[in-house]
A = this chain, B = another copy of it.
Amino acid sequence: MQAQLIALDWGTSSLRAYKLGPAGVVLEQRSQAWGIMHLPTEPREIAGVLCTDGFELAFDSACGDWLDAQPGLPVIACGMVGSAQGWSEAAYRSTPVDVASLGQALHGIRSLRGVQVHIVPGVIEQVGLPNVMRGEETQVLGVLQGLGPQVLIGLPGSHSKWVEVVEGRITHFDTFMTGEVFAVLSKHSILGRTQQASEQFQAEAFDQGVRVALSNDGQRGVLSTLFSARTLGLTAQLAPDQQPDYLSGLLIGHELAGLPDSAKHQPIILVGAAALCARYQRALALCGFAHVSLAQEATERGLWQLAQAAGLIRPVLEA
């Protein structure tokens, strides 16, 4: 089947490449470790030139053969590749944004082999405290089809995003540093000293953590409840191998307690790694969020739609 688009999900730690066919069907996909902070360094010849640029090298290794086989295939990319530390900076677009406005704002960079790479800009919200995202906007836009007029999309991760979408437009979003806080506390704080990794998910401890976040004690905030991960251990109410999932539940619970109450009866879509989404789904249920579902293939679908909006995909091939 003839490909129509190369779509790159290019983040800090990895580079995923998709070869998409008609209607955006995934013909082939690859995942490589060439995130923008981990680029290849070994010089190689590209288009007859000895190349030392890490972005060029990574790009060529991700999809050079696809372009050789089918020159002129359009290329679109999202994620940190468009940040100030990326290949070329695609300036943030302010909320509200939708597929049409973002698709018309792609930022082009000409690669060594002459192919134009179209980078999706990140999104900034400047009302109140500023908030930014890069990559998540594409995932959000990729999962909207078939949803109602108002939906909340959660993207759990190192920096979780919660994105409000009204009539197909991203109107507001928040960031919670839950995943990174969990990682640094487990690795570098006193809480990690008594933690022991568990082979199995400690569901009871996780739920207990969520409930503490929702309790009266939780009202004092996470800086206070954190200490319970230690004291419950000291008082033998939490075994060492329960402590990591207790802390995970506690932090996720505090994150969810920060969502607007109105979200309780709104459809919520989770996008992200399956295991992490399962934790969030469990915690959301405990917090009383009623309508939660999971989305798949968010990035490749988002990139497909943005490429369409940008006119990168030739309609004749789509028929």
Contacts and interface: CB of A to CB of B under 8 A. Distances in A.
Contacts of A217: 128-129
A131 B224 CA distance: 10
A256 to B, nearest CB: 10
A130 interface: yes
Q: How many copies does the complex hold?
A: 2
Interface stretch (A107-115, A180-188, A199-207, A281-289): A180-188
Given A131-B231, A223-B251, A187 B188 contact: yes
Given A124-B235, A180-B189, A221-B255, 7 more contacts: A130-B228, A159-B227, A175-B231, A177-B223, A188-B188, A222-B223, A224-B258
Given A184-B184, A212-B129, A189 B177 contact: yes
A124 B181 CA distance: 27
B176 A180 contact: no
Contacts of A51: none
A242 interface: no
A254 interface: yes
B222 A222 contact: yes
Interface in A124-165: 124, 126, 128-132, 159
A240 B129 CA distance: 17
A221 to B, nearest CB: 4
